[in-house]
Structure 1
Amino acid sequence: MQVSGETPAKPSYSRVLLKISGEALMGDQGYGLHPPTVQRIAAEVKSVHDMGVEICMVIGGGNIFRGLQGSAQGMERTTADYMGMLATVMNALAMQSALEELGVFTRVISAIPMDQVCEPYLRRRAVRHLEKKRVCIFAAGTGNPYFTTDTAATLRANEMACEAIFKGTKVDGVYDSDPMLNPDAKRYETVSYDDCLAKHLKVMDASAIALARDNDLPIIVFSLDEPGGFRGILAGQGTYTTVKD
């Protein structure tokens, strides 16, 4: 607890990227957006923004459409992936609305140009937004099929010179097996990039892990369902797993 008059602890990182799945926005629903859940996550982001941390976000689109599943059902893969990218834009716009209702200036930046609803991706402009303390939500993945939003998140984090990726999930870290199925599953405090790949720990896809490893970018896996969890980690508290060398 902070004592009155005491200077708040300096955040662990000054610029981070928060990666969440589209499913995180649908709450207990089986599909789509659940406004109270979107608002709750926006409040978590605002609490970190209020610490002075510069924040990027990448949100998946699986609550609306997942390209890989569409392809598995007979749809042509490239078309299915582009549909998934458009779903991420919808989620990004919903999060922008929720953040701006809280007074946080936000920009949605799309890898697929659609000037009437969001900005096109220009690295220097995005960096300037961050320097002006605006939250940048990167949408439409990398703009290319066959790449997941995990890979897009790692790419953008490197381009923005983020100091870490925060991967918000339903569990409080990386486990050696599914803790939802195995009550004896062991949680890692830290785990290497190579172990994530060799043991198929499903932190992110292989391309994203390899890109993070090659650029020495730590990935912090934490529970998005834990109130105050995002802010707590930046304040040096909480339960999480760090993926690093």
Structure 2
Amino acid sequence: MTVIAIVLSVVLIGAAVTDGQERIAGGTDTSVQYHPFAAAILYGGRLFGNGAVLGRLFVLTSASALHVTETVGYTVTVGVSNYLHTQRRFEVVRIYRHPEWIGWDDNLAVLATVTIEFSNHIQPIPIASYSPDDIMLTFVSFGMNNAGTSVQLQQAAFRALSGSLCYNYVGQGPAAGPINTGRGYCVVTNDIVQKGFFADDSGAAGVANSQLYAIFAFTASGGGVQDVGIAMRVPKYKGWIDDTLRRILNS
């Protein structure tokens, strides 16, 4: 078993108990008409996570959304609000995980895909040029309920915090790693509607003003409305992302 596989097995122990739960908890149905960058990441046809289209050959997601370490078997679905309503899936040809990711920090990955054809419902999203320490973001995620009857694209507004404000929520455990480096957010409810994340929300894009600010990675414990989400601050990784996109184009 590879090091990545070992770490994933540890990280996903808590996440496994959330499988089949409603995602995003407290979210509302939305459409790719409003979020044309939204991508569902599938493995063997099963939803594993989410991502954001960055270009015709690129989808950004979290490393922890990719439970299976091998590339073969992964596809992405874009341009639909219900990923079961289409058989058009784009093959993932290579996975580029952040080189320093081992389970918590630097929890990002770029998927190199076959060519994605853009349309009114399929468009890339630009990365924000600045990463504020405190911002309201809308997170967008595909999900399925217990009955398996709803896989509608959902959205929910969260407050994304960093630094000392975040430690009030996560303390100093392993989940605080991305906060310690300054490259992660705590993602918390900021209104009376209780909201939260589950395992299959991993890779969900956090957006504001039609720009990408964050990628949800994992929860501090088991997930749900009582838990705190941890997201990567995407602008902090723009150098690595740009280098990775160039590698893909030159390969």
Give your verdict on TM over 0.5. Answer: no
- Structure number with higher helix proportion: 1
Q: What TM-score do the two structures reach when normalised by structure 2? A: 0.30
Taking structure 1 as the reference length, the TM-score comes to 0.31
Q: Which has the higher contact order (CA 8 A, sep 6+)?
A: 2
